[in-house]
Structures are given as structure tokens and as C-alpha cells.
Amino acid sequence: MKITLHVNAGERTVDVEPRTTLLDCLRDELRLTGAHSGCEHGVCGACTVLIDGEPARSCLMFAPQAEGYEITTVEAMSPAPGELGIIQDAFCAAHGMQCGYCTPGMILTAHALLKHNPSPTRAEIVEAISGNLCRCTGYGQIVEAIELAAQRLRGANTEAAR
Amino acid sequence: MNERPKFRFVSADRRVREDRRFVAGMGKYVGDIAEAGMLHVAIVHAPYTAAKIVSFDASRALAMPGVVAVVEGEELSTNVEPLMNGLDTPKVQRYPLAVKHVRYNGEWVAAVVAQTRAQAEDAAECVDVEYEPLPFVIDAEEAYRPSSPPVHAAHGSNVLLDRTFNWGEIDEDFAASDHQLSLRVTWGRSSTVPLETFGVVAMWDPWAEVMDVRASIQMPKYADQIARAMRLPGNAVRVHYDIDVGGSYGVKRGIKHTVLACYLSMKLKQPVRLIEDRLENMSSGDAHGPDRIFDIDAAFNRDGIVRSMKMRALDNAGAYAGRAPFQLGKPIGAIVGPYKINSVRYHAVSVTSNKAVQEAVRGFGQSPTNYAIETMMDRVAEHLGMDRVEIRRRNFIRADEFPYLIPSGTRYDSGDYHTVVDKVMKHVDWPAFVAERDRLRANGAYAGIGIAACLEPSGGNSSFEPLLNPANTTTTWMESCRINVDALGNITATIHTTSSGQGHETLASTVIGEVLEFDPDSIRIVRTDSLTSLPGNSPVGSRMAVMLGGSCYLAANKLKKKLKAIAAHQFDCAPEDVDYVQGVLRAKDGRTLKWAEMVNIAHRNFHLLPEDCEPGLEVTNVYQVPTGTDLPTADGRVQMYPCHSFEFHCILVTIDPDTGKVDIPRYVIGHDCGTVINPHIVKGMTLGGIAHGLGAALMEEFVYDGEGQMMAQSFMDYLLPSSHEVPQVEIVHHCTPSPFTVMGQKGSGESGYLGAPAAISGAVNDAVRSLGIRFNRLPMRMTAISDAIAEAKSKQSN
């Protein structure tokens, strides 16, 4: 079936089987491979995208169900090719990753958190990322990265919480 | 020796260069590869624990849309060689698909190839296989008995390895000791379970006659193993190392997946992609970890000195041998931990069973062994009524005793265990730390302190191979680096492996930049493929800081030496009279040649080069493991790994008496891995290792029921620690450089994981000691803890 998705501020029309997950559609049809497949049953969060600004599991949603929503993937987090947004840069500064597989989901989750709560406590950060598993870092440097991003965003004179 | 060397880039607070692509979602993982005409594979799994395959009928599947082929084990086994065994067990044959018999629940029986993965999965459900169930064995002790049904009838028994080592005067030491005690601890089967499952894309090019392989792999000799299994020349397999691997920690060794995909690609003349789904990964990806029972007898004096230890380690390898039994061998290199135990008897037993197959897991058997040794130390302390920190202090090797030869033949490089412990004790304010536990207890909580001291053998060679398999004469486990300076003067270095988050590009550029005095960010690091690479053994055995770092260091120094020789020729002086400072060559009389001039001479002015000097500025280094060159002695002693990092865990836990949930309000680790190359990377490894150790201690287990059904096949029942479970960790640093490595560095890839399970076990046991409870088995899941507490309380109230 043909569906039209609003992805990263653009419209994309694809022809997919109704059973195609949003994750597979993004990766295989639109070649947006930043969202990763980890568990395919909604636990690990590697496939996280933003649906109308809120983190969601793209492996638990069929692509046709995503019609009409604003879908944001990690590819939209970079201001331009080769440039890092503030949250991305903070993850690099704190080395909030190792293998990078959970990282897109973490970045998007952090983006949503900081949009709602510019000054999260450590406990609030821990709570926000508790739906995103990371097997490499033990989360310490991810929490530090989000703390750093929050601090920098509060000091930035741009509204774009990228 | 304990002076910290001064570096410019090494040990500095510098970013990890790999991170940029990951935060942008621009990592290149195997799942991101889309080749034109790429076919997809779904697997048909065995529903029986042990069975004979009576009939196989793929006709329904083949008639389905998009299906290209269905391949079962009999066809495959006539066209490929069996997969490699570590031990000399030729009758334990393993192919990617079951041949005539299935030996564990979930084993791969057939591969369905279709235009899309969905079509392949649909068709896999329509492959008709008839089975005749056979007797099976799940339990390791039972499998060890001669009466148990052999998993491989041709092998004759389930015993893969049954070897006793006697290092030192064990009986004499036991007889001369004041006390003895025995204990049994069990390490449940868990694994590293990376978020990315294993995947491979194989592409046979019939015109070039080359098999191109892109895989999420972390495996030594991968290309060689593919070539052998596929009956191809080694130079007909090209493994591409520029694939990002989404976590591995040891297990990403999908040789069966790879050989299967290669065979299918060769048969169908199209690219073939095989990516495990999560269920496959957990049930039959052949990536479970050690599953081990330890029986220990300890002999010790009343002053707490442990004189001798007898350890039997019985490991349940699962249905096929693979490389897993070697995980009983690596711990031999640190079999006494950080302690001066005078003699050791080690009885290593590996048995087959009808469980899924094991693979290498972070530490290669060291973490379970450390858990056993540390539990012994706690028991000795308890037996003598002695403080658990004090007993460790009394048994530690002293800083002035290094290099220290342990009974099993390894010479530990360096360490200062007493100082690390002192620093941690000071950091936590030990009396206050104990008082806090006691305050919590006085308020009615179950609170406990856990202590663990252990080593991380690093710089991995493979001495356990000849030790456990006399047919194997491996005495090198080299790693390599090539540096090229182009005609514009820019530096490019190659590394010859995939990475799974360890930051090898950062490691290589930092070390080369340090030696050549160039900003590491200006040095490009390129990953080759197996046909353009130098010899290497992949990032296993916590070896890359030592081995890749060593190779980069030596290659850069070789380049420097060449530059000095060229400059000396221009200055008409001896090379040793030329100085190198930040790319400028300087003679004693003050004449200089700048970097650009040197590059020009090397690239364009052959007439200015000294005799026998090759044009260009290219150097290679192939680095042998420091210390690891001898075969084992007849009595089973061998130098295992060259370097030994130290960690000391000191933690406080509380247990919810109703739910059994363990909280860790305080987690402190003292860590000494010698010279740190990148502090962010080492910190991440340590924190991640602790999280992984917490999983092994409290949450993760591949549980089998009595019928051999694996009960934990999803993340709903195999629980990975989330940000809620993992505590905030405080790291206390210490640096004792290794005298055996180029910059004093040691490994840290397994840090945290090697001691966390022991520390958490010690803390939980301390918390419930007043109830008379003793946990002798990991993981200690919430249900086990709450049941034990409830039972103890009901006994107390009766």
C-alpha cells in the first residue's frame, strides 16, 4: 500500500506491505538507517524515533499507523552534514557511548527530555533514559552527556534544542 | 617505576574520534548494507532438545512468493568443511546447520532464502521436518557421568576436556596448614547480549572469484576460518574491516552464520544477508557464556595466609565444542588472583550437553574464576573471624615482589595492590563506610558490604591453545600497524580489524601522534580488509591497548628512524646525532630539515637517499606479544598474558526484604591499568563492565527447564540492567606502568566485569548473613533472594 509519511520536516511516499514496521520502513525504504533494530519487541529502545516530539519505539508501530504524525529521526539532529548539534556534541564531549548502536535512540530521548525539562536532575535523566538500554557504557557517561547538554542549552542563545 | 611518565596526547582528556559518526546516526553497521539483488535468510529451528531428523520436505516453502532456495544440513555438510574446534576433538563435528541430528532446542535445521526477510520468515514456517526425539542431557554433572547419553555418539562421551594440573607442592601445603575449608559456587549461564544481533552479508563474485564478507564480527582468524570451511584459498576471502559492530564484548563470532551465508551466496550467485532476530540471537546464535560449577578446597593458616588451593571447574559447553572450552584455560594465567598462593591443583572439565553452544564472553572465563576465588577469600575471612579487607591485604603480592611468578607459570608484570586498597579505603572513609552499613541495619534494613580484588590479564596471546590442545603450537598472537606519509606530508595509518566500541581509531592516532609529535586529529586511520591487511588477531583478550598500541608505537618509531637516517645523509653525520622534534630533523650544528623537505626528499629525490633506503615514507610493524613466546612445559606451566591490571571493588548494598530487590547506594572501584591512553575510553569500559557484571550477578541467565527448553528468549525474561539498576560508580585511579609494554599500558577492556559479580555476591551475602542465608550461585535473582529471606524468617519465627 502507498503511504505518505512526514519525516524530518519532509514528505515521503512509499509503497509498503501493511505489516511493515515503521522501523523497517525508515531503514529499508527511506534509507534512514540511524534508527537501529535491537530487540524487535519494544524493550531496548535502539529503534527510538520521535513521533510528534515524543520518543516512541518504531519497531512496535506499523508504517501505515505513522501517517499523519511528525516523525523525527536522528538524521535530523545534525544542523548540516558534518556539523553536530548541541546534544550530539555533548555526547562526544562526555564520550556517552561506545559502539554507537543505542546512541541515536539516546540522543532523541535526551532531546525530548530537554525540550520538556531544561534543568533535569540526575534522577530525572536516569528515569528518562531508562527505556533505552545500553550494553556498553553502564549509563554513567550518557547521564553526564545529558547533564552537559542541558547546561549548554540553557546557556545557548538559540532555541533549537538540537 | 611508579613515576607516571609524561605524555602530550596519551592520557590526555581528548575526544574519541569515532563518536562523531555515531551521534549522527552515521555508523556503518552490517544491517545498513543494501547490495543490489541482495537475498535474505530466515532459519528453521529445531523444536526438540535432541532428535533424529527423519524427513525433510521444503516443497511447500519453495512454492511461496519470493522464495529462492531452501538448504538443509545434509547438502551443506557435503559442500563445506566442519567448523573449527579449539580442542583436539575431531569427532565433535559442527556445521552451520544440523546434519541428521539436532542437539539442542532451537538448533538451526534449514535456511530459507527469499527476496525479502518477511518472505523468508513466512516460508520458514512451511518447511516440514519430521523428528524422532532422542535422550538428552542438560545438567553438567550428569553429562560428566559415563552413563549419560553422549551428545555426539561418535565422540563416545560428553567429556571434551578433563585435565588436572598440579602446580607446586599441594599435598604438603595442605598438610602443613592450620585450617581447611571447602566450598561450591556456581556461575549461571549468561552472556554479553549486545544490542545489535550478529549479522553478515556475503557476496560471492564469480568473476573475481572472491568472497566479500561484511559482518558484525569480533573474531581472531575469521577470514582464515571462512576460507577453510568454504574450501577456498585464503586469498579468495575478503573480510571488510570498515564495519561498525554494535557491541560484542567477546561473543560476536558468528562463524556458522558466515559460512552458511557464504555457501548460499556461492550457490545462488547473489549477495546474501543473514541477520539474527533477537530470539535467534538468544536461543541459537551460539553465543552463550560460561556455565560453570566450582568446587574449591582452601588450605590456610590462622593468620589468614592462604597456602594452597584445589579448584575443580566443571563447565557446560553446550552441544558443540567450538572455542569455548578454552575459557577454562585462560584463567590459568591468573589462577591465584592477586594473591601469593603457593600451590594450586586445577581440575578443568568441559562437557557437552544439549544446551546451546558457548562462545567467548568478556574475560574468557576469568570473571567466573574471580568470583570463585573471591568467594573463597570471603569464606576464609569468615572462618577466621577476620576482616575481609585485611585478609586480602595479608595475601596480596607486594609491590616490590614484581615481576612475580605464579605457580601456573605466568609472571605478573607489575602492581601495587596495597596502595590501591589504601586509596579506596581512604576514599570511602572505611570506618564511616562500615558505620553506614550498620546504621542501615539498625534501622531494620538488610545492608551489606562487598569486597573484591582481582586481576585483568591483558594483552592477550593464546597460550591456552597449546596448553589445552597439544596438537596446537601457537606461540604468537601478533598485531600490526602500517604508517604511510603521503607526498603532501600527511599521515595515514592502517588498522586491521573491526571495532565494536573500543575506540581503536582513537587509540592508534593518539599513540602515533604521541611518538611523531603530531596532533592525533591530523592523522587519518583507515581500516583495511583481510586481503590488504597485515597479520592481526582482532580485539580479543583485552589486548588492543597493549598490542595495537605497541605496534603503532613501534611503527612510528621505525618511521622516525628512517627520517633520521635520511636527514643524517644530508647532514653527513651519524643518524644518532640527529634529533627529531615535532617533525623537524636537527643536526648537532643547528642545521635543520623541515617536515615538508623530508617528505620531498623521500618521495621525489632518490638521489638524496642513503644507500639501501627505500623511497617513500612507509613503515610497517608486526608486533609479537611481549613475554608470550614459549610452549607450555611438560607439567603444564606457561606464560599466559603479559599484563595484569588490578581492580578493587568496595560496595554497599541494601535489599528490600519483601521483593528481594538489591540496591547499590555506593559503588567504588579502585582501578590500575597502568598508563591510560584515553581516559574517556577506559572510564567507559570500567563503568560498562560493572553494569555487565551487575547483570551477571543479579539478573541475567539463560535458564533451561528439565526438558531442555530455554526459558529466557526475550528481553522480557532475560533482563538487561537499565539505568535504574546500574549505580553511580566512583572510580579511584592508580597507575602502575607495565614494564613489559611500550608506554606502560595494560588492558582495560574487561575491567569492572571481572570483579563486580564477586563484589555484589559478597555484599548480598553480608546483608543476609544474620538470617543464616548463603547464596552460592549467580545470578541471585530477586525471586531467589526474596524466597530465601521469607523462608529464613519463617524458620526464625517458628
Chain-chain contact of B22 with A103 (C-beta, under 8 angstroms): yes
**Mean pLDDT across chain B:** 97
Task: Express each pLDDT in B395-417 by its tens digit.
Answer: 999 999 999 999 999 999 999 99
Residue B217 with chain A: CB contacts under 8 Å: none
What pLDDT, in 10s, does the model give residues B708-717? 999 998 999 9
CB contact under 8 A, B278 and A134: no
Which residues of chain B are within 8 Å of residue A130 when distances are taken between CB atoms? 722-724
**Three cell numbers, residue B770:** 544474620
Separation between Cα atoms, residue B760 and residue B727, nearest integer Å: 12
Q: Is the pLDDT of residue B109 over 60?
A: yes
Give chain B's largest Cα–Cα span: 98
Ordered structural domains, chain A, with CATH: 2-77 (3.10.20.30), 86-155 (1.10.150.120)
Distance from CA of B618 to the nearest CA of A (A): 30
- For A53, counting Cβ atoms within 10 Å of its Cβ (0-12 exposed, 13-18 middle, 19+ buried), the class is middle
DSSP reduced 3-state for A95? coil
Where does residue B12 rank: exposed (0-12), middle (13-18), buried (19+ CB within 10 A)?
A: middle
Closest to B391 in 3D by CA, of B339, B328, B317, B322: B339
Partner-chain contact A138 B278, CB within 8 Å: no
For residue B737, cis peptide bond before it (omega within 30 degrees of 0): no
B497-529 confidence digits (pLDDT tens): 999 999 999 999 999 999 999 999 999 999 999
Per DSSP, A58 falls in state T
Residues 59 through 118 of chain A touching chain B, CB cutoff 8 Å: 73-75, 77-78, 84, 88-89, 91-95, 97-104, 107
| Mean pLDDT, range A120-126, rounded to an integer | 98
With contacts defined as CB-CB under 8 Å, which chain B residues touch A132?
723
Task: Read off the C-alpha cell for B788.
Answer: 530465601
pLDDT digits (tens, 9 = 90+) for B442-500: 999 999 999 999 999 999 889 999 999 999 999 999 999 999 999 999 999 999 999 99
Residue B322: band (very low, low, confident or very high) from pLDDT cuts 50, 70, 90:
confident
Q: Is the pLDDT of residue B2 over 70?
A: no
Q: Give the C-alpha separation, B690 to A138, whole Å.
A: 7
Decide: helix, strand or coil at residue A119.
Answer: coil
> Which of B26, B244, B688 has its CB closest to that of A136?
B688
Helical (H) or strand (E) element with A141: helix A140-155
CB contact under 8 Å between A98 and B688, yes or no, is yes
- pLDDT score at B710: 94
| HEC assignment per residue over B88-130 | CCCCCCCCCCCCCEECCCCCEEEEEEECCHHHHHHHHCCCEEE
Size of interface A-B (CB pairs under 8 A): 184
Domain extents in chain B: 19-24+478-623, 33-134+195-247+253-284, 292-463+631-797
* CB contact at 8 A, B333 and B408: yes
CB contact under 8 A, B23 and A107: yes
The string of pLDDT tens digits covering residues B726-785 is 999 999 999 999 999 999 999 999 999 999 999 999 999 999 999 999 999 999 999 999
Nearest to B693 by CA among B778, B595, B585, B636: B778
In this structure, the number of other CB atoms found within 10 A of the CB of residue B436 comes to 17
Which pLDDT belongs to residue A29? 97
In A, residues 25-44, which contact B (CB 8 Å cutoff)?
27-28, 31-41, 43-44
Listed in sequence order, the residues at least 6 apart from B212 whose beta carbon sits closer than 8 Å to its beta carbon are B202, B203, B204, B205, B238, B240
pLDDT in tens, B613-656: 999 999 999 999 998 778 999 999 999 999 999 999 999 999 99
Q: Measured between beta carbons, which residues in chain B are less than 8 angstroms from residue A162?
A: none
pLDDT at residue B3 tops 70:
no
Nine-digit cell at B460? Answer: 592477550
Instruction: For residue B735, give Cα distances in angstroms to B14, B351, B645, B671, B672.
Output: 19, 40, 10, 8, 5
B19-24+478-623: CATH topology is: Aldehyde Oxidoreductase; domain 4 (3.30.365)
Distances (CA, A) of B166 to B47, B163, B305, B348, B406: 43, 10, 20, 11, 13
Residue B151 CA to residue B153 CA, distance in Å, equals 6
Bridge partner residues of B771 (DSSP): none
Q: Which CATH architecture has domain B33-134+195-247+253-284?
A: Alpha-Beta Complex (3.90)
Angle between helices B388-395 and B417-428 (to 10 degrees): 160
Position of cell 524466597?
A: B787
Query: How many angstroms separate the CA atoms of B267 and B265, rounded?
Result: 5
Cα B51 to chain centroid, rounded: 33
Do A129 and B723 lie within an 8 Å CB cutoff?
A: yes
Best residue of B15, B19, B362 to probe chain A, by most A CBs closer than 10 Å: B19
Given an 8 Å threshold on Cβ–Cβ distance, is A137 in contact with B20? no
Q: What is the mean pLDDT of chain A?
A: 96
Chain B positions touching A77 (Cβ under 8 A) are 23-25
Share above pLDDT 90 across residues of chain B, in percent, rounded to a whole number:
97
pLDDT at B5: 55
CB contact under 8 A, B247 and A43: no
pLDDT digits (tens, 9 = 90+) for A9-39: 999 999 999 999 999 999 999 999 999 999 9
Q: Do B684 and A136 touch (CB under 8 A)?
A: yes
CB contact under 8 A, B724 and A126: yes
Query: Per-residue pLDDT tens for B541-587?
Result: 999 999 999 999 999 999 999 999 999 999 999 999 999 999 999 99
What per-residue confidence (pLDDT) applies to B1?
A: 43
Helix (H) and strand (E) counts for chain A?
Answer: 5, 5
Q: Report pLDDT for B220.
A: 95
Q: Which of residues 241-280 of B touch A (CB under 8 A)?
A: 244-249, 277-278
Tell me the shortest Cα–Cα distance from A63 to chain B, in angstroms: 15
DSSP state of B51: E
Neighbouring residues of B113: CB distance < 8 A, sequence distance ≥ 6: B39, B40, B41, B67, B68, B69, B70, B71, B120, B264, B268, B272
ipTM for the assembly: 0.98
Q: In 3D, which of B202, B32, B688 has the Cα closest to residue A34?
A: B32
Alpha-carbon distance of A48 to A61, in angstroms, equals 11
- A46 interfaces chain B, CB cutoff of 8 Å: yes
User: Which one is the CATH code of B292-463+631-797: 3.50.50.60, 3.90.1150.10, 3.30.700.30, 3.30.365.10?
Assistant: 3.30.365.10
Residue in chain B closest to A126 (alpha carbons) equals B723
Collapsing DSSP states into helix, strand and coil, what is residue B77?
helix
Residue A135 and residue B195: Cβ atoms within 8 Å?
A: yes
Chain B environment of A89 (Cβ under 8 Å): 23
Q: A106 pLDDT exceeds 80? A: yes
How far B617 CA sits from the closest chain A CA (Å)? 31
B19-24+478-623 and B33-134+195-247+253-284 in the same fold = no
User: CA nearest A135 in B: which residue?
Assistant: B194
Residue A102 near residue A133 (C-beta atoms within 8 A): yes
Q: Which of B245, B247, B278 minimises the CB distance to A39? A: B278
Q: Cα–Cα distance between B568 and B577 in angstroms, integer?
A: 8
Q: Are A63 and A24 in contact (CB under 8 A)?
A: yes
What sign does the dihedral B252-B258-B261-B265 (CA atoms) show?
Answer: positive
